[in-house]
């Protein structure tokens, strides 16, 4: 029964992949062809037919959300809980390994994850400690250097000092940063991967154990693995065995973060005997959407090349909207969503995608004004909010006193009279005696090194943390969080802020108590009998690893806003891609380098193929971006879509007048109503057709497509248009 269950609704190629004999296998296929689905069914197949133990399966997904969905899907298929199966992101799995084997990995038991924000702050401190000017050595660049080396698998001692003085300096920063992290038990995202790789590489017994255990390794979105992830998979599997990877070289979009598209090509060489299955039928999109995606990606030269077809009809043409500016664009999006909702569509079926985070603000404003609930996916996530990070700093200090970034954050928050001068003395002392700030503070109290008042305040802080730990030993996690919020003074501090913001912060802090009550939301943090991770540690790991994929409520019935990058793997019946303009998409910085331009084009392919039924592409004639007014050209990607697949659209604006008029009309100078579709004459531009009308009175504007002069936006009161 289960077998037919697993195989039904799979096409022959998909079935071939799901039922393939054990051994290395690569599924190489375009967007929406069922790769992720096949990977989930394969796991079900292994369990139900190959009699694999859940214990022997390791599955890697690109996001925690995908991991949770996959787990749910397999459980539904087999109707059994599969707790022992390891499924998570590379980072989540690496973290789990390090937790289990902290000693072998030479980490303190309570090691903490350093998120991107704290990492950069720490790098900045290291730059200053080295007496370097952080204008000349900007922390973001140094952080980038460090992360890039880690992604390649290199710790400082493995990098040869180069002749280039700048490289040598960056290496010094990396060195002192790394030493600091080692000393204080902090592990950044790159280190999670690198450490867990080294853990297996340097410990033959452990490696043998895991090779014997994980007989089935499956990886989704393989085209976006970086060097260390690839090497980790190779090491763990020994380049053989049942390794099942799926990917699409046309969707590799993280090259700028170290992903290596060639990994998916190399697979067949590094895993001898590997089979390749290609899926060619797309189940997601209409014919027009698929053809547009195929046409765009065909402009890339470096491809393996695939064909992708659908049984679906052509469907609606792809709608292209030329907006006046970003507000007009947002209004257009909003109107179309309204229309969708009027027709019975759901909000959660709508995805709005953009290239750059900064684009979301105007869209948000407009949706807010229209009272359409929305959610920004991957925006400033809950755990990154200032007040939440304040509270987490206390919790992290409870778990690990040597966590310097948390010490710095908590020590004078709320203000306790521990100023920058005191902190600076602490930093110097910590550096000179190679101690954490906490230990330095212990030593400095009463030593005369700092002012008596500051010493007293510092003493108060250390006592607060120590007594908090002592008094909360027996408490459940939510009760502990609650206690920390109260006794730290954070609740009082924000409660006193008599503004909406203060109120929101208090609510967020209370939400943290709720979050702590939800058993380890991240699948990787799930404790099971082999892994007695303490509750607080599991919660803190979750806070650091949860990649902005939102809480459970994120997928309530809301319109979804996100960058094109975070849309990978998802699908929506209705998709808007906004700002399809040269300089924005493709991005300014990628336009001149062919390789980067190809990555932008793959991003366009990813974006287009998220749409199931309806796709809207918009560009603005004028846009304010990063504080500048620009007049961008429509993107080259638009021109790459065959004209026959597209349709120019106008807004459905209804301009309201005190006197009833034809809907969508606006009054011209001569007192004549203009409406979309109206023929008009202009003194210099000649004859044309009104496309869009908006605003009223002195602000009324019309867009007219002139036979000779093309489309123009005109202010009605100046244009002297004559209806004909």
User: What angle, 0 to 180 degrees and rounded to 10, lies between the N-to-C axes of helices 204-213 and 189-202?
Assistant: 100
For position 632 contacting ligand ATP by CB under 6 A, the verdict is no
Of Mg ion, ligand ATP, none, which one does residue 11 interact with (CB within 5 to 8 Å by kind)?
ligand ATP
Query: Considering only residues 3, 9, 106, 141, which one is a binding residue for ligand ATP as defined by CB under 6 A?
Result: 9
For position 664 contacting ligand ATP by CB under 6 A, the verdict is no
End-to-end CA distance of the chain: 71
Tell me which of 14, 26, 36, 568 is the catalytic residue. 36
| Closest CA relative to residue 211, chosen from 189, 180, 242 | 242
- Annotated active-site residue 36? The verdict is yes
Q: Taking the C-alpha atoms of 378, 380, 383 and 388 in order, what is their torsion angle to the nearest 10 degrees?
A: -170
User: Do 15 and 7 meet the contact criterion of CB atoms below 8 Å apart?
Assistant: yes
Query: Considering only residues 153, 569, 607, 676, which one is a binding residue for Mg ion as defined by CB under 5 A?
Result: 569
Binding mask 13-52 for Mg ion (x = CB under 5 A): ----------------------xx----------------
| Segment contacting ligand ATP by CB under 6 A, of 4-12, 302-310, 421-429, 505-513 | 4-12
- Annotated active-site residue 409? The verdict is no
| Segment contacting ligand ATP by CB under 6 A, of 25-33, 392-400, 556-564, 590-598 | 25-33
Q: Looking at beta carbons only, is 410 or 608 nearer to ligand ATP?
A: 608
Q: Looking at beta carbons only, is 64 or 488 nearer to Mg ion?
A: 64
| Segment contacting ligand ATP by CB under 6 A, of 5-13, 170-178, 467-475, 701-709 | 5-13
- Annotated active-site residue 221? The verdict is yes
User: Do 521 and 546 meet the contact criterion of CB atoms below 8 Å apart?
Assistant: yes
User: Do 284 and 37 meet the contact criterion of CB atoms below 8 Å apart?
Assistant: no
Give the residue at shortest CB distance from Mg ion.
36
Tell me which of 41, 63, 223, 251 is the catalytic residue. 251
Contacts of 72 (CB under 8 A, 6+ apart): none
For position 92 contacting ligand ATP by CB under 6 A, the verdict is no
Tell me which of 118, 151, 221, 390 is the catalytic residue. 221
Of Mg ion, ligand ATP, none, which one does residue 284 interact with (CB within 5 to 8 Å by kind)?
ligand ATP
Order of strands across the sheet with 216-219? 86-88, 57-60, 216-219, 242-247, 25-29, 275-279
Least gap, CB of 606 to ligand ATP (angstroms): 7
Query: Considering only residues 5, 7, 10, 274, which one is a binding residue for ligand ATP as defined by CB under 6 A?
Result: 10
Q: Looking at beta carbons only, is 92 or 569 nearer to ligand ATP?
A: 569
For position 33 contacting ligand ATP by CB under 6 A, the verdict is yes
Q: Looking at beta carbons only, is 251 or 665 nearer to ligand ATP?
A: 251
For position 309 contacting ligand ATP by CB under 6 A, the verdict is no
Tell me which of 188, 191, 198, 220 is the catalytic residue. 220
Question: In angstroms, rounded to a whole number, what is the distance separating the alpha carbons of residues 713 and 693?
Answer: 9
- Annotated active-site residue 242? The verdict is no
Least gap, CB of 535 to Mg ion (angstroms): 33
- Annotated active-site residue 106? The verdict is no
Give the residue at shortest CB distance from ligand ATP.
34
Question: In angstroms, rounded to a whole number, what is the distance separating the alpha carbons of residues 655 and 131?
Answer: 62
Query: Considering only residues 26, 37, 306, 401, which one is a binding residue for ligand ATP as defined by CB under 6 A?
Result: 37
CA dist 348 → 340, 574, 679 (Å): 11, 9, 39
Helix (H) / strand (E) element for 100: namely: helix 90-100
Contacts of 283 (CB under 8 A, 6+ apart): 32, 33, 34, 310
User: Do 329 and 632 meet the contact criterion of CB atoms below 8 Å apart?
Assistant: no
For position 436 contacting ligand ATP by CB under 6 A, the verdict is no
DSSP 98-155: HHHTTTTTT--TT-EEEPHHHHHHHHHHHHHHTT--TTTS-HHHHHHHHHHHHHTT--
For position 36 contacting ligand ATP by CB under 6 A, the verdict is yes
Burial 337-368 (b: 16+ CB within 10 A, else e): beebeeeebebbbbbbbbbebebbebbbebbe
Contacts of 358 (CB under 8 A, 6+ apart): 625, 626
User: Do 578 and 329 meet the contact criterion of CB atoms below 8 Å apart?
Assistant: yes
Q: Which residues pair with 218 in a beta bridge?
A: 59, 244
Question: In angstroms, rounded to a whole number, what is the distance separating the alpha carbons of residues 53 and 47?
Answer: 6
Tell me which of 14, 26, 35, 112 is the catalytic residue. 35
Least gap, CB of 474 to ligand ATP (angstroms): 46
- Annotated active-site residue 150? The verdict is no
Q: Looking at beta carbons only, is 31 or 318 nearer to Mg ion?
A: 31
Of ligand ATP, Mg ion, none, which one does residue 34 interact with (CB within 5 to 8 Å by kind)?
ligand ATP
Residue with tokens 């002192």: 176
Structure-token pair, residue 307? 């064909």
Least gap, CB of 253 to ligand ATP (angstroms): 11
Least gap, CB of 257 to Mg ion (angstroms): 19
Query: Considering only residues 13, 26, 32, 523, which one is a binding residue for ligand ATP as defined by CB under 6 A?
Result: 32
Query: Considering only residues 569, 579, 632, 688, which one is a binding residue for ligand ATP as defined by CB under 6 A?
Result: 569
Question: In angstroms, rounded to a whole number, what is the distance separating the alpha carbons of residues 700 and 498?
Answer: 41
For position 607 contacting ligand ATP by CB under 6 A, the verdict is no
User: Do 632 and 620 meet the contact criterion of CB atoms below 8 Å apart?
Assistant: yes
Question: In angstroms, rounded to a whole number, what is the distance separating the alpha carbons of residues 376 and 359?
Answer: 11
User: Do 183 and 430 meet the contact criterion of CB atoms below 8 Å apart?
Assistant: no
Question: In angstroms, rounded to a whole number, what is the distance separating the alpha carbons of residues 151 and 695?
Answer: 52
Q: Report which DSSP code applies to 671.
A: S
Q: Looking at beta carbons only, is 6 or 440 nearer to ligand ATP?
A: 6
Catalytic residues: 35-36, 220-221, 251, 610
Q: Which residues bind ligand ATP (CB under 6 A)?
A: 9-11, 14, 29, 31-37, 248, 251, 283-284, 569, 571, 609
Q: Which residues bind Mg ion (CB under 5 A)?
A: 35-36, 569
């Amino acid at each position: 029964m289960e077998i037919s269950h697993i195989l039904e609704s799979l096409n022959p190629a998909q079935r071939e992949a799901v039922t393939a004999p054990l051994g290395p296998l690569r599924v190489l296929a375009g967007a929406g062809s069922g790769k992720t689905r096949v990977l989930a069914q394969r796991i079900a197949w292994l369990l139900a037919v190959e009699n694999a133990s859940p214990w022997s399966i390791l599955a890697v997904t690109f996001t925690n959300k995908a991991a949770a969905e996959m787990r749910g899907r397999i459980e539904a298929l087999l109707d059994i809980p599969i707790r022992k199966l390891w499924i998570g992101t590379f980072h989540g799995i690496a973290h789990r390994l390090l937790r289990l084997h902290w000693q072998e990995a030479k980490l303190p038991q309570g090691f903490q994850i350093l998120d991107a924000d704290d990492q950069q702050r720490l790098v900045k401190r290291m730059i200053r400690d080295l007496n370097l000017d952080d204008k000349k050595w900007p922390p973001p660049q140094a952080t980038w250097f460090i992360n890039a080396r880690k992604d390649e698998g290199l710790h400082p001692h493995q990098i040869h000092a180069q002749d280039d003085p700048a490289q040598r300096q960056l290496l010094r920063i990396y060195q002192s940063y790394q030493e600091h992290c080692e000393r204080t038990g902090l592990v950044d995202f790159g280190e999670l991967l690198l450490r867990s790789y080294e853990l297996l590489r340097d410990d033959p017994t452990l490696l043998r154990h895991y090779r014997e255990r994980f007989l089935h390794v499956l990886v989704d979105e393989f085209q976006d693995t970086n060097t260390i992830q690839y090497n980790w998979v190779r090491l763990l599997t020994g380049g053989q065995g049942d390794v099942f990877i799926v990917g699409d070289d046309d969707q590799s979009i993280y090259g700028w973060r170290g992903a290596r598209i060639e990994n998916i090509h190399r697979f067949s060489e590094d895993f001898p005997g590997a089979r390749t299955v290609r899926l060619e039928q797309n189940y997601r999109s209409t014919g027009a959407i698929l053809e547009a995606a195929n046409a765009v990606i065909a402009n890339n030269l470096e491809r393996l090349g695939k064909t992708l077809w659908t049984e679906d009809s052509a469907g609606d043409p792809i709608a292209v909207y030329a907006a006046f500016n970003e507000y007009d664009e947002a209004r257009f999006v909003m109107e179309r969503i309204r229309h969708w909702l009027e027709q019975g569509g759901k909000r959660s079926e709508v995805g709005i995608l953009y290239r750059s985070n900064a684009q979301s603000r105007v869209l948000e404003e407009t949706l807010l004004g229209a009272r359409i609930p929305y959610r920004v996916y991957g925006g400033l996530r809950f755990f990154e909010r200032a007040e939440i990070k304040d509270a987490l700093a206390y919790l992290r200090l409870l778990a690990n006193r040597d966590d310097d970034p948390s010490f710095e954050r908590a020590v004078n928050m709320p203000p306790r009279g521990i100023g920058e001068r005191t902190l600076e003395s602490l930093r110097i002392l910590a550096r000179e005696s190679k101690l954490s700030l906490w230990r330095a503070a212990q030593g400095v109290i009463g030593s005369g090194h700092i002012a008596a008042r500051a010493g007293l305040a510092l003493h108060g802080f250390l006592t607060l943390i120590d007594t908090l730990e002592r008094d909360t030993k027996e408490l459940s996690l939510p009760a502990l969080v609650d206690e920390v919020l109260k006794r730290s003074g954070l609740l009082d501090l924000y409660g006193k802020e008599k503004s909406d913001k203060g109120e929101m912060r208090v609510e967020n802090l209370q939400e943290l108590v709720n979050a702590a009550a939800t058993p380890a939301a991240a699948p990787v943090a799930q404790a099971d009998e082999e892994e007695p991770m303490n509750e607080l540690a599991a919660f803190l790991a979750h806070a650091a690893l949860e990649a902005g994929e939102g809480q459970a409520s994120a997928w309530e019935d809301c319109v979804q806003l996100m960058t094109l990058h975070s849309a990978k793997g998802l699908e929506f019946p209705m998709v808007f891609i906004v700002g399809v303009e040269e300089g924005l998409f493709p991005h300014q910085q990628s336009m001149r380098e062919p390789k980067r331009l190809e990555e932008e084009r793959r991003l366009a392919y990813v974006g287009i193929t998220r749409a199931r039924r309806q796709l809207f592409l918009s560009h603005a004639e004028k846009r304010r971006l990063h504080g500048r007014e620009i007049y961008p050209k429509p993107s080259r990607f638009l021109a790459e879509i065959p004209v026959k697949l597209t349709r120019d659209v106008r807004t459905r604006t209804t301009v309201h007048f005190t006197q009833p008029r034809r809907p969508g009309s606006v009054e011209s100078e001569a007192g004549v109503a203009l409406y979309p579709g109206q023929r008009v004459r202009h003194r210099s531009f000649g004859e044309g057709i009104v496309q869009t009308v908006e605003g009223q009175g002195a602000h009324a504007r019309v867009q007219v497509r002139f036979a000779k002069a093309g489309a123009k936006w005109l202010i009605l009161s100046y244009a002297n248009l004559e209806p004909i």
